Amino acid sequence: MEINEKNIKLWSSIGPRATLGLGILDLAQKDENILVVTCDVSTSAGLDRFRKTLPDQYIELGIAEQNMIGVATGLASESYDVITTTFAPFQTMRCCEQIKVNLGYMEEKLTMVGLASGLVLGNLGFTHCCIEDLGVLRSIPNIKIISPADSLETIKAVEASIKEKKSCYIRLTGGSNNPIIYNQNYNFEIGKSVTLKKGTEITIFGSGTILSECIKAAELLDKSGLSTSVINMHTIKPIDEFAIQNACKKSRLLISVEEHNIIGGLGSAISDNLSKIKNSPVLLKFGINDEYTKSGSYDYLKTYYGLNHQKILETTLKFIKKNND
């Protein structure tokens, strides 16, 4: 798949799920060792074309996620490169113990893709939103966790995960018309964050689609006289410790923004490291404040949880004022 301006725009408009389908089809056409194992989600995962084009590399197991991880494990142990995918809550929690035993404990290697994680399916309610996947999987050894910023990074994450020796979980956020974070090719490496914007006083760490709100918030903070950098922490585990140390040296305030429960996700992963750093700055965490709420649109829920750029700006300024008083 050629990375050019036209494709980047196309992938953004169709969103990360449809892009995932295109990306996996492209990889699997070149490599028959790649298998896709799913639970009745070919349409949702953008895999309808894959299903028709490469039926021998497509294994449909019906709505049975525990069996999906088990069957995929058996295939992986016979040296196949296996990608499993379904909606994020079912990909991570319904089969959590299979993930623990087969991938964590036994160290068999899968690439798992959680569809529509975070709040994008808010209209369907919190059975389908997923604000717990990072916390659940971070506690299991031997699994790498990636939350791509946009459609291009989704493709890069899938490619990198297939080459990776350990199992990976790729957490897709956002829907169609997904904001473009990268408008040209760049170097993606699991575990190595990317600085999207440089600033001197505040560092915002974000991951997933919410990074577009982080960039807008940073620009507004700049205008308020607070020079702000934005770092794409696309890998939640292993977290980029060097980037955290670096931010501690440069900034007087750290911010984390994520479409996840405030407990267990990116902010927690950063906190775990800050506790090891002497005189580290304060970390202001934006996320879902350990609660469920009524259903609503993606934009509605982002606003409700204070995750849009305007809210990030206001809360940050309020926090700074309060701490300066």
Partner 1 sequence: MSNIEKIENFAKNLRITILDMALEAGASSSHFGGALSMVEIISTLFAYKMKHKKIISDEFNKRDRFILSKGHACLAYYAALHEIGLIPRDLLKTFEKNNSSLAGHPVKNKEIGIEFSNGSLGMGLSIGIGLAISAKKKQSNFKTYVILGDGECNEGSVWEAAMSAPKFKLNNLNVVIDRNNFQQTGSNNEIMDLGNLKNKWKNFGWEAEELDGHDIKKLVNYFDKNKNNSQPKVLIANTVKGKGFSFSENNNTWHHSVMTKNIYEKAIKEINRPNGN
Token representation of residue 321:
């004022």
Query: With respect to partner 1, which residue has the nearer C-beta, 107 or 314?
Result: 107
Judge whether 283 and 256 are in contact, CB under 8 Å.
yes
**What distances in angstroms separate CA 37 from CA 49, 60, 323, one per listed residue?**
15, 6, 51
For residue 102, the minimal CB distance to partner 1 (Å) is 7
Strands of the chain (E only): list them: 34-38, 58-60, 81-87, 111-115, 143-146, 167-171, 194-197, 202-206, 228-232, 235-237, 253-261, 282-288
For residue 113, the minimal CB distance to partner 1 (Å) is 18
* CA atoms of 198 and 218, how far apart (whole Å): 10
* CA atoms of 278 and 25, how far apart (whole Å): 48
Query: With respect to partner 1, which residue has the nearer C-beta, 82 or 170?
Result: 82
Query: With respect to partner 1, which residue has the nearer C-beta, 7 or 67?
Result: 67
Token representation of residue 9:
């725009």
Query: With respect to partner 1, which residue has the nearer C-beta, 31 or 189?
Result: 31
Query: With respect to partner 1, which residue has the nearer C-beta, 76 or 221?
Result: 76
For residue 89, the minimal CB distance to partner 1 (Å) is 17
For residue 73, the minimal CB distance to partner 1 (Å) is 5
* CA atoms of 148 and 202, how far apart (whole Å): 23
Distance of CA 264 to the CA centre of its chain: 14
Of 69, 13, 24, 68, nearest in space to 46 by CA: 24
Query: With respect to partner 1, which residue has the nearer C-beta, 67 or 246?
Result: 67
For residue 137, the minimal CB distance to partner 1 (Å) is 17
For residue 64, the minimal CB distance to partner 1 (Å) is 4
Half-sphere exposure of 158 (CA within 13 A, CB side): 29
Binding residues vs partner 1 (CB under 8 A): 56, 59, 61-62, 64, 66-67, 69-78, 80, 97-98, 101-102, 105-107
For residue 165, the minimal CB distance to partner 1 (Å) is 16
For residue 105, the minimal CB distance to partner 1 (Å) is 5
Query: With respect to partner 1, which residue has the nearer C-beta, 99 or 115?
Result: 99
**What distances in angstroms separate CA 306 from CA 3, 13, 86, 234, 257, one per listed residue?**
34, 25, 28, 21, 10
For residue 48, the minimal CB distance to partner 1 (Å) is 20
Q: Which neighbouring-strand residues pair with 35?
A: 82
Max intra-chain CA distance, the chain: 66
Query: With respect to partner 1, which residue has the nearer C-beta, 84 or 193?
Result: 84
Judge whether 313 and 221 are in contact, CB under 8 Å.
yes
Query: With respect to partner 1, which residue has the nearer C-beta, 96 or 284?
Result: 96
Strands of 57-152 (E only): list them: 58-60, 81-87, 111-115, 143-146
